Amino acid sequence: MRDDGTMTQPWPAPTARGAVHATIPVPGSKSLTNRALVLAALAQEPSILRGPLRSRDTELMASALRALGTGIEDTPAGAWSVRPAPLRGPAQIDCGLAGTVMRFVPPVASLARGHVAFDGDPRARQRPLNTVLDALRALGADVHGSALPFEIRGTGALAGGEVTIDASASSQFVSGLLLSAARFERGITIRHQGAAVPSLPHIDMTVAMLRTAGIDVDDQQQNTWRVLPGPVDRLDLDIEPDLSNAAPFLAAAAATAGQVTVPGWPEHTTQAGDAMRGILEKMGAQLHRDSSGLTVTGPDELGGVDLDLHDVGELTPTVTALAALAGGRSRLRGIAHLRGHETDRLAALQREINALGGAVEQTEDGLLIDPRPLHGGTWHSYADHRMATAGAILGLRVPEVTVADIATTGKTLPDFPDMWATMLESAV
């Protein structure tokens, strides 16, 4: 049984009969969807979000905002219509295991009138939250607790102002405060002090979306972000495909010397998953992007790589799986912060690949992967969607790999098993 109370079911990861050749449409970006939902809830007028991702994380975000009074409804065309309303409690917020919900919604709740209680899956109670909660206290919020479960007792407004935080554990601490800051009475100035902030492209995404909503934001000074108070404009958005969710399918082309096309790959994007293009090229794949999308053609043998993944840590499970199938050693650096994600991803990847006969070693800030002949066995996903898809990638080349909980991919990609099976029908 998973943390959310649903039953797990072992999933035999299918082995590719040969090279895969497929076109795989990928649903909308989780990161863009959840940021857009928050901004739309704070806007002056109704917004429309076309092509949003429908997954556990985004449904949890929508449910959280509905609990605070926002109207979020499906349109006949499959979009989300978002009607802002006065934020109010009492409300119960289920964060599940969604980092965006547990870090983006508390600042919204600080603007509500009434008590708002937060909780989530058991693993979520171990994830760091004190940075954003202490920041809200410093900005004038009445916060009780420093991790899940906690409560915010709102008065309908928040003073805002200047705050110094250590966001070295997650860029979401910065993004969460920025998304609501235009509604704070004095806006916000955030200063980061500490080791480098990971996943900076996600903050760039947040800043770009703030500007789309007409919000005055200044990010010119390193490690400092300023948002002026003011109205939030309505959004009229087409959500891009989720490029991080596309990564396992592109990896399938690389792992099987096949070819996979993902339609709608944007020419310009703030999504961290776009970095997968350069990573695959370094491993020997050929890439081509045109009006039909991005096409990856895999090499006869994957090459080992030395990569700093600090800004794109979410790609680590996918890259590690490919590195375990490569022809030489790989070193992945700059990802110590992954020890605080859905699970300790570095320990989990080491444990699971080595259990299949691999040779993965943890370093202070990453992993060393020496390819070895792998054998079948059970791949544990630790309620972590990206761990589950990493097991599926290995199963393409390693017979009799069983992913213990493929359903956890529903966190960001509910149809993953069917999409994977459809892709493999093309293997020749």
Is 192 known as a binding-site position? Answer: no
Task: Report whether the peptide linkage leading into residue 122 is cis, meaning its omega lies within 30 degrees of zero.
Answer: no
Q: Residue 30, exposed/middle/buried by CB under 10 A (0-12, 13-18, 19+)?
A: buried
Both tokens assigned to 23 = 């076109």
Q: Is 151 a catalytic residue?
A: no
Residue 411 annotated as binding site: yes
240 is in an annotated binding site: no
At residue 226, the 3 state secondary structure works out as strand
Structure tokens at 415: 């149809």
Task: Give the whole-angstrom CA distance, residue 265 versus residue 281.
Answer: 16
Tell whether residue 140 is among the known ligand binding residues: no
The answer on whether 153 is annotated among ligand-binding residues is no
Is 168 a known ligand-binding residue? no
386 is in an annotated binding site: yes
**Which residue among the candidates 267, 281, 301, 314 is catalytic per the annotation?**
314
Q: Which two tokens stand for residue 379?
A: 């791949």
Q: Is 172 annotated as a binding residue?
A: yes
Q: Is 175 annotated as a binding residue?
A: no
Nearest alpha carbon to residue 395 among 365, 360, 423:
423
Amino acid of residue 138: A
Partners of 190 in beta bridges: 163, 225
CA distance 163 to 4: 34
Q: Give the three-state DSSP class for 78.
A: coil
- Pairing between strand 236-238 and 47-50? parallel
301 known member of a binding site: no
Question: Would you say 170 is a known binding-site residue?
Answer: yes
For residue 48, give the H/E element and its range. strand 47-50
Phi, psi of 111 (to 5 degrees): -95, -5
Helix or strand (DSSP H, E) at 162: strand 161-165
Interhelix angle 130-138/172-181, nearest 10 degrees: 30
Q: Identity (one letter) of the amino acid at 308?
A: D
Tell me the C-alpha distance between 387 and 378, whole Å. Answer: 12
Q: Does 30 count as an annotated binding residue?
A: yes
Q: How far apart are CA 297 and CA 261, in angstroms?
A: 9
Q: What residues form the annotated binding site for phosphoenolpyruvate?
A: 30, 99, 127, 172, 345, 386, 411
What residues are designated binding site? 30-31, 35, 99, 127, 170-172, 199, 314, 341, 345, 386, 411
- Active-site residues: which are they? 314
Binding residues for 3-phosphoshikimate: 30-31, 35, 170-172, 199, 314, 341
